[in-house]
Amino acid sequence: MVLEQGRRVRLATELRLPGSPEPAGDAPATAGAVAGFLSLAAGTEGTVERVDAHPRKEGPEVREYVRLTSLRDDFGAQMPPASRQRLDEEIAALEPAWTEHRNTRERVTVRVRFDNGFVLDGADAVLFTPR
């Protein structure tokens, strides 16, 4: 499901948000202050204010896999058999990293303003369902 700015959503699961308070803006921070935790019930509704996509990170093995497969696709037919076989072995060794990268979903976070006035920022989009 793709969330969009302005879309109404519902919290899919109960959340417990432990931590210390952080004053907004230029207010001085109170060292050591503990606020306990805040619970938001499943079903709490709100509106998406912002959607942030965090692209998957490509490691060096993934970049090398892409480079080598491109090389094989473009010039593989012209390569001597031994060189082609060595290239295929290198690609096969990098296949697990490529498969893991391909199966990793892009992380999407949202900022939601709930109807009760609370704002949850940086929350994973999978925590919400459309209303």
How many C-beta atoms surround the C-beta of residue 46 within 10 A?
Answer: 24
All domains of the chain in start order, with CATH: 1-15+40-55+107-131 (2.30.30.30), 60-103 (no CATH)
Residue 91 has pLDDT above 60, yes or no: yes
Q: Are 130 and 9 in contact (CB under 8 A)?
A: yes
**In this predicted model, what pLDDT tens digit does every residue of 57-90 receive, in sequence order?**
888 999 999 999 999 999 999 999 999 999 999 9
Query: What pLDDT, in 10s, does the model give residues 94-128?
Result: 999 999 988 887 889 999 999 999 999 999 999 99
Distance CA 7, CA 112 (A): 10
Sheet strand arrangement including 128-130? 119-124, 107-114, 45-54, 8-11, 128-130
